[in-house]
């Protein structure tokens, strides 16, 4: 897909106007695909590269809850939470914009392992942007530079897992410096990946435990609860939902159900088809 050049005079008309408000706006931007539609509120999602199972579940839970709302997901295409955020946005039909720490030419796109993800973003109506000339390779200095673009472009930044020396914290600090909203998800007190998020929560970041919290901070009115919640459930379906008050791995859930294996498998399959639960290996979680 063709890589195109934008100069600051056309940022506003192309959904990039907030970048003109930051102290050092990009002189130029190269882009591929579709730039952010004007009717979307952009949310940056950032976090640790060495994410935990909890972090992965948080990404899926929160981004799935934004499905159907005028929200676009912005992240850095990096390994870890960034990549999960882009993938979850695609899965739940949300616009997503990637800001890699390299130029956009496929020969240098970083990380190389996410070239397929970048292709999926473009083919699904999303976009890629970079202030680096297309064939510029990534370097240690390019990542803080791109972090300011994510922080400056979005109305809010959502922090999901960050260690004590995580580069993610640079984006969080820039978000505060640019007078944008900083949102943070609490983590386990025993996890090193919670250090950064807890530090920013102590400093006043908005605590997020649900998609509703995000929508509130973005100024988007939440829709009424889905009517499917009111559907009369079968006794075994009710039991499954009660067991999924927190995500359960498949073996544990089957054991707790105390049903013949064939009957339990059919039950879970039917509930997935109805949209009551989802299976993200190795865990089941409730969707209602």
Q: What is the pLDDT of residue 274?
A: 82
Which CATH code is given to the segment(s) 4-218? Answer: 3.40.50.450
Which segments of the chain belong to CATH 3.40.50.450?
4-218
Residue 206: per-residue pLDDT: 95
Give the pLDDT mean for 82-93. Answer: 96
Q: What is the pLDDT of residue 95?
A: 97
Pinpoint the residues of the chain covered by CATH 1.10.10.
227-286
Of residues 224 and 140, which shows the higher confidence score?
A: 140
Q: Could you give the CA distance from residue 159 to residue 162 in angstroms, rounded to a whole number?
A: 7
DSSP states of 41-68 as a string?
A: EEEEEEE-SS--HHHHHHHHHHHHTTTT
Q: What local confidence, expressed as pLDDT, does residue 230 receive?
A: 56
Q: Is the pLDDT reported for residue 30 higher than 70?
A: yes
Q: Looking at residues 28-44, what average pLDDT do you find?
A: 95
The yes-or-no verdict on residue 190 having pLDDT over 80 is yes
Task: Cite the DSSP H helix spans in 154-287.
Answer: 168-177, 195-202, 211-218, 235-243, 250-257, 261-274
Tell me: pLDDT of 227 over 80: no
* 229 vs 24, more confident: 24
How much is the average pLDDT of 144-165? 92
At 41, is the pLDDT very low, low, confident or very high (cuts 50, 70, 90)? very high
DSSP 147: H
CATH number for the 227-286 domain, one of 1.10.10, 1.20.120, 1.20.1530, 1.10.3470?
1.10.10
Q: What is the mean pLDDT of residues 200-216?
A: 94
């Amino acid at each position: 897909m063709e890589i195109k050049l934008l100069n600051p005079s056309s940022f506003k008309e192309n959904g990039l106007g907030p970048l003109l408000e930051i102290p050092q706006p990009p002189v130029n931007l190269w882009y591929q695909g579709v730039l952010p539609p004007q009717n979307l509120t952009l949310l940056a999602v950032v976090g640790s590269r060495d994410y935990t199972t909890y972090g992965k579940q948080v990404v899926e839970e929160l981004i799935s809850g934004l499905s159907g709302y005028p929200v676009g997901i912005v992240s850095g295409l990096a390994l870890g939470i960034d990549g999960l955020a882009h993938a979850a946005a695609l899965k739940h039909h949300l616009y997503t914009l990637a800001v890699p720490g390299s130029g956009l030419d496929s020969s240098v796109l970083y990380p190389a392992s996410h070239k397929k993800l970048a292709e999926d973003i473009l083919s699904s109506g999303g976009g890629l942007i970079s202030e680096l000339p297309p064939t510029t390779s990534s370097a240690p200095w390019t990542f803080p530079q791109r972090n300011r673009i994510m922080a400056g472009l979005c109305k809010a930044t959502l922090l999901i897992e960050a260690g004590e020396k995580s580069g993610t914290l640079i984006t969080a600090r820039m978000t505060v410096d640019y007078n944008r909203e900083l949102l943070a998800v609490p983590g386990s007190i025993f996890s090193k990946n919670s250090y950064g998020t807890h530090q920013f929560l102590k400093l006043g970041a908005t605590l997020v435990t649900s998609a509703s919290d995000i929508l509130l901070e973005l100024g988007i009115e939440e829709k009424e609860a889905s009517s499917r919640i009111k559907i009369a459930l079968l006794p075994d379906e009710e039991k499954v939902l009660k067991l999924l008050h927190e995500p359960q791995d498949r073996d544990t859930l089957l054991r707790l159900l105390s049903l013949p294996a064939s009957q339990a498998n059919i039950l879970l399959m039917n509930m997935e088809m109805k949209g009551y639960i989802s299976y993200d290996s190795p865990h089941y979680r409730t969707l209602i």
